[in-house]
Amino acid sequence: MMTEYGLRTIWMIFIAIGIGTYGLRLSFILILGRMGDPPPYLSGLLRFIPATVLAALIAPTLAVLSVDPGVGFEVDYAKVAACLVAVGIAWRTENVLATICGGLGVLWAVQAVV
């Protein structure tokens, strides 16, 4: 994959992400040093962010709903199988490398057979 963006634009993206992320990290440390734990409603909402973002990044690689020329739904079954195995490995071992290798192994095996 190659992006259509030039190096300048990519730099701007990463600088913006860097500033934004640093601002989030620094926010309460700098400003609200006197506060105790964050208000419960805030941490209650924020705690769902990692899981929801990751799920929303994973899911579209497995299935695509298209609406443009007509409604269509395509599922990549080889990747679904690979993901299920990866989920199992991640759940059992919590090991990043084992999860990646297991998932890729299943994907290659299924693609070789089909």
Partner 1 sequence: MAILPISLGVVPFGVIAGAAMVESGIPPHHAIAMTIVSFTGAAQLAAIDLIDQTAPVAVIVLTAVIINLRFMMYSASMAPYFRRFDALTKWLGAYVLTDEAYAISISRFRNGDLSIHSQKWFYFGAAIPFWATWHLSAALGVVLGTSVLSGVSLAFAVPLTFIALLIPDLNDRPTILAALVSGGTSILLGFFPFNLGLVTAVLIGIAAGSAFEQRSTTQSDRTAATDTGCETA
List the interface residues with partner 1, window 57-76 (CB under 8 A). Answer: 57-68
Q: How far is the CB of 19 from partner 1 (least distance, A)?
A: 9
- 1 or 113, CB closer to partner 1? 1
Cα 92 from Cα 114, distance rounded (Å): 28
DSSP state at residue 4: S
Report the distance separating Cα 82 and Cα 86, nearest Å. Answer: 6
Contacts with partner 1 in 83-112 (CB under 8 A)?
83-84, 86-87, 90-91, 94-97, 99-100, 103-104, 107-108, 111
Q: Interaction with partner 1 in 34-53: which residues (CB under 8 A)?
A: 34-38, 42-53
Q: Does 80 bind partner 1 (CB under 8 A)?
A: yes
Q: How far apart are the first and last CA of the chain?
A: 25
Q: Burial of 103 by CB count in 10 Å (0-12 exposed, 13-18 middle, 19+ buried)?
A: buried
Interface residue with partner 1, options 40, 56, 70, 114 (CB under 8 A):
56
Q: Least CB distance from residue 66 to partner 1, whole Å?
A: 6
Tell me how far apart the alpha carbons of residues 28 and 50 are, in angstroms, rounded to a whole number.
20
Rounded least distance, CB 56 to partner 1, Å: 4
